[in-house]
């Protein structure tokens, strides 16, 4: 059986959560239906609430200071050599830092990233102000602080900013 890297599962989960109109069950082939993914809640005031699918609201985590600073020791700002990839079904995502090169790249590509519904991973962020600067460079795009070492190791690259799609790795 072919082994799929953990980074792939993480990226798929992140991409699914970053799409507010979609749920995990929507993209699954076969007999998976929403009722199988519904969460049951405890009764409140002796009244039961109807079961409904729950989507993660990433904006609810307003205080991200617990995860900061984020450092990815295997990554640094720099040029990325484009190459083709064969990862069918992978939703686009990008890795970014708080450095000037990353912020300029993000501002330059923000429209394209938003059109392809790419999710962002801030892999080098010192504090909440730096994360706010990154997010301000691309309003409307989900950008989460995450250590990028595992992704970089598995996909064999060393620099960011980088865009990763099902068919390419590019800057």
Looking at residue 115, which CATH number applies to its domain?
3.40.30
Q: Does the residue 46 lie in any domain?
A: no
In this prediction, residues 136-146 reach a mean pLDDT of 95
**How much is the pLDDT for 52?**
52
Instruction: Provide the domain count of the chain.
Output: 1
Q: Does the residue 148 lie in any domain?
A: yes
Cα of first residue to Cα of last residue in the chain, in angstroms, is: 33
User: Rounded CA gap, 165 and 84, in Å?
Assistant: 9
Q: Does the residue 85 lie in any domain?
A: yes
User: Rounded CA gap, 124 and 121, in Å?
Assistant: 9
For β-strands 162-164 and 168-170, DSSP reports them as: antiparallel
Q: Does the residue 2 lie in any domain?
A: no
Q: Containing domain of residue 146, as a range?
A: 63-171
Strands (E), the chain: 76-77, 83-84, 93-97, 119-124, 143-145, 159-160, 162-164, 168-170
Strand partners, 94: 120, 163
Q: Does the residue 151 lie in any domain?
A: yes
**How much is the pLDDT for 32?**
47
pTM (global) more than 0.75: no
Task: Grade residue 165 by pLDDT with cuts at 50, 70 and 90.
Answer: very high
Q: Tell whether the model's pLDDT for residue 44 goes beyond 90.
A: no
Q: Does the residue 22 lie in any domain?
A: no
Q: Does the residue 78 lie in any domain?
A: yes
């Amino acid at each position: 059986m072919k082994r799929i890297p953990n980074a792939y599962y993480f990226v798929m989960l992140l991409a699914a959560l970053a799409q507010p109109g979609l749920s995990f069950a929507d993209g699954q082939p076969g007999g998976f239906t929403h009722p199988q993914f519904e969460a049951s809640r405890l009764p409140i005031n002796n009244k039961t609430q109807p079961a409904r699918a729950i989507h993660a609201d990433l904006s609810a985590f307003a205080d991200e200071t617990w995860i900061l600073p984020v450092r990815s020791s295997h990554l640094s700002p720099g040029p990325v050599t484009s190459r083709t990839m064969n990862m069918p079904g992978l939703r686009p995502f990008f890795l970014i830092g708080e450095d000037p090169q990353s912020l300029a790249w993000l501002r330059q590509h923000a429209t394209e990233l938003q059109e392809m519904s790419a999710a962002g991973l801030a892999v080098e962020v010192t504090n909440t102000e730096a994360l706010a600067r990154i997010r301000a460079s691309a309003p409307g795009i989900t950008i989460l602080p995450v250590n990028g070492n595992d992704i970089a190791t598995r996909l064999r690259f060393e620099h960011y900013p980088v865009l990763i799609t099902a068919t390419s790795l590019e800057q």
